[in-house]
Chains A and B, each alone.
Chain A
Amino acid sequence: MILHTLNQASEKLIQSCSDTMVAGDSLLLIEEGVYLGIQETISMKLLAMHTEINLYALKPDCIARGIKALLFPDIQLIGYPGFVKLCTEHKQVISWY
């Protein structure tokens, strides 16, 4: 069980991340990475293929960028306390940046 955090709107990065993920892992989009969570993006389609991944995005970053309403419905919005909680619940954290 790995928590992956991704902080850039980069297709290349999400591809690498996606290649490394297995069922049960969690992905948290932060900073610029939240743009990847927009429903219409290719990256979201890529992630949708991963059926058993828990998807999260950091709420303050989404709100700041005005994209909260555009996000893929399966993404759960969490705040900083939720971020900390996720870190403690996973054995490892990989930052994709």
Chain B
Amino acid sequence: MKSVCIISQQSPYASPRAKEALDAVLVAATFDIPTTLVLLGDGVFQAIKAQAGEKIHQKHLGKQLAVLPMYDIETLYVSEQDLACRGIKPEQLMDNVHVLASQQLSHLIRQQDIVISL
């Protein structure tokens, strides 16, 4: 079974792209494909704990990310550098989020068989 890495680089509510990346992750996980989700760039905004998407009549994306462990996706990864330059601290993120330096992330991505950036 090939492993899949989904890279999501979009903030959560401006466009459907973040949601689509999450859908792709869930679909892959449903088929028992080893799946890794990496949030880069503005994608790090998806991992903020205090989201309330319902205020703008959208699904709460953070809550959906939080249930990923139920699909055997124990960790999602965010870039330390991308967090820092957007003024977000790791403690402001959800519990199942792993903060990694760019170099480690780059290494992690290279270990996967298939990389899809959404």
Evaluate contact between A92 and B110: CB separation under 8 angstroms: yes
Beta-carbon contact of A19 and B115 below 8 Å: no
Residue of A at shortest CB range from B101? A19
Choice from A13, A16, A20 contacting B109 with Cβ under 8 Å:
A20
Q: Which of A12-31 contact B (CB under 8 A)?
A: 12-13, 15-16, 19-22
Q: Is the CB of B81 within 8 A of A19?
A: yes
Tell whether, in the assembled complex, residue B105 and residue A20 are in contact, meaning their CB atoms are under 8 Å apart.
yes
Known: A20-B105, A20-B106, A20-B109. A94 touches B41 (CB 8 A): no
Interface range for A: 10 to 19
Picked from A2, A21, A93, A96, the residue with its CB within 8 Å of the CB of B9 is A96
Contact B117 A95 (CB under 8 A): yes
Q: Tell me, in angstroms, the Cα distance from A15 to B86 when the chains sit together.
A: 13
Interface size of B by CB at 8 A reads 19
Whether A94 contacts B81 in the complex (CB less than 8 A), given A16-B9, A16-B40, comes out as no
> Are B106's CB and A92's CB within 8 A?
no
Complex Cα gap A94–B81 (Å): 19
Residues B1-53 near A (CB distance < 8 A): 7, 9, 40-42
Contact flags B76-92 to A (C-beta < 8 A → 1, else 0): 00010110010000000
13 interchain pairs, CB-CB under 8 A: A2-B115, A12-B41, A16-B40, A16-B79, A19-B81, A19-B82, A19-B106, A20-B106, A21-B106, A92-B109, A92-B115, A93-B115, A94-B117
